[in-house]
Amino acid sequence: MKQVIIITGAGKGIGKAIALEFAQAAVKQKGFDPILILASRTVSDLESVAAECRSCGAVADIFQVDIADTAQIERLVSTTLERYGTIDCLVNNAGVGRFKPLAELTEDDFDYTMSINLKGTFFLTQRVFSVMEEKRSGHIFFITSIAAETAFKSSSIYCMSKFGQKGLVEAMRLYAKSCNVRITNVMPGAVYTPMWGEVPETIKSVMMMPEDISLPVVNAYFMPERTSVEELVLRPICGDINE
Ligand SMILES: NC(=O)c1ccc[n+]([C@@H]2O[C@H](COP(=O)([O-])OP(=O)(O)OC[C@H]3O[C@@H](n4cnc5c(N)ncnc54)[C@H](OP(=O)(O)O)[C@@H]3O)[C@@H](O)[C@H]2O)c1
């Protein structure tokens, strides 16, 4: 069956791994025929992920979009609907973090983080949910973080944005349960991705890898429709690696 799946931040890190996991599922799961809508700001990243997805036999389409811009969100959703007719799954993965001590954080750090992690995630969810509500089915994933529940010293603005995303998750559940839409909050601890920049080998060796997150996400999607995996909490075996 054709399944239209939008993945934001699909060019790198966790989003890229989720795109590839869905593409590989097209080979493993009989009858699963995904149309992957890969979205982020950097076209070259998207082109290379799309090529990998297509090599697994999945259909992959790319959209250059900055989710901080509501006009670009509208273009992403309306073009997807024009081309493919529906949206079955949204993976709200695009997110940013600027990690500094409290006194060094600036107004620009605040506005940049909130415009993507909160404003972008909210307006994309609102728009896609209206499609799912009307057809009375769908699945929305939020890749929040353990920082949606636990504070870390150099992550004050990031934590605010992630606690805020968790607020949106809880609000969406109230709407979603009456129209058969599944909501999954994915809360990873430290995952080795470009978001971290340069990481010493000693730290890298204890971090999770993006595929440790993508596998349970795709497994949650394949649960019977009557069952909603509400939360996935994934941590390095040694626990959290920063404070
Ligand atoms: N890595 C971790 O340890 C970790 C742990 C818990 C949660 N998370 C969360 O997981 C998600 C993915 O993180 P990651 O580590 O994979 O980060 P990453 O490697 O930096 O990748 C982030 C992706 O999001 C895209 N993106 C950023 N801003 C965007 C925007 N305004 N519009 C559209 N796309 C945008 C980026 O592409 P462009 O820059 O090209 O747009 C990139 O493809 C984030 O929400 C993050 O908070 C990460």
Ligand 1 centroid from CA 226, angstroms: 30
Spatial distance between the Cα atoms of 26 and 211, rounded to a whole number of angstroms? 16
The pLDDT value recorded for residue 241 is 86
Spatial distance between the Cα atoms of 75 and 3, rounded to a whole number of angstroms? 20
- At 199, is the pLDDT very low, low, confident or very high (cuts 50, 70, 90)? very high
The pLDDT value recorded for residue 160 is 98
Tokens of 30: 């009989």
Ligand 1 centroid from CA 73, angstroms: 17
76-124 pLDDT, tens digit per residue, is 999 999 999 999 999 999 999 999 999 999 999 999 999 999 999 999 9
Q: Which of 28-37, 44-53, 57-66, 159-168 has the lowest mean pLDDT?
A: 28-37
Q: With a cut of 80, say whether residue 1 has pLDDT above it.
A: no
The mean pLDDT of the chain is 97
Spatial distance between the Cα atoms of 15 and 33, rounded to a whole number of angstroms? 19
115-148 pLDDT, tens digit per residue, is 999 999 999 999 999 999 999 999 999 999 999 9
The Cβ of residue 101 has, within 10 Å, a number of other Cβ atoms equal to 9
- At 193, is the pLDDT very low, low, confident or very high (cuts 50, 70, 90)? very high
DSSP assignment of 106-132 equals -HHHHHHHIIIIIIIHHHHHHHHHHHH
Mean pLDDT on 197-204: 95
Query: Residue with structure tokens 């968790």?
Result: 166
Q: With a cut of 90, say whether residue 242 has pLDDT above it.
A: no
Ligand 1 centroid from CA 22, angstroms: 18
Query: CATH top-level class for 2-234?
Result: alpha beta
pTM of the model: 0.98
The Cβ of residue 159 has, within 10 Å, a number of other Cβ atoms equal to 20
Kindly state the percentage of the chain with pLDDT values over 90: 96
Site to probe by mutation for ligand 1, drawn from 36, 40, 184 as the one with most ligand atoms within 8 Å of Cβ, is 40
Give yes or no for a contact between 144 and 162, defined as CB atoms under 8 angstroms apart: yes
**Residue of the CA atom closest to atom 47 of ligand 1:** 95
**Residue of the CA atom closest to atom 24 of ligand 1:** 9
Q: So where are the chain's domains?
A: 2-234
The Cβ of residue 167 has, within 10 Å, a number of other Cβ atoms equal to 13
| Cα of 170 vs its chain's centroid, Å | 16
The pLDDT value recorded for residue 243 is 56
In one-letter notation, the amino acid at residue 157 is I
Ligand 1 pocket (Cβ < 6 Å) reads 8-9, 11-15, 40-42, 45, 65-68, 93-97, 116, 120, 143, 145, 188, 190-191, 193-195
Mean pLDDT on 225-240: 96
Query: Residue with structure tokens 């983080």?
Result: 113
48-62 pLDDT, tens digit per residue, is 999 999 999 999 999
Site to probe by mutation for ligand 1, drawn from 12, 64, 124, 158 as the one with most ligand atoms within 8 Å of Cβ, is 12
Ligand 1 centroid from CA 108, angstroms: 18
DSSP state of 101: -
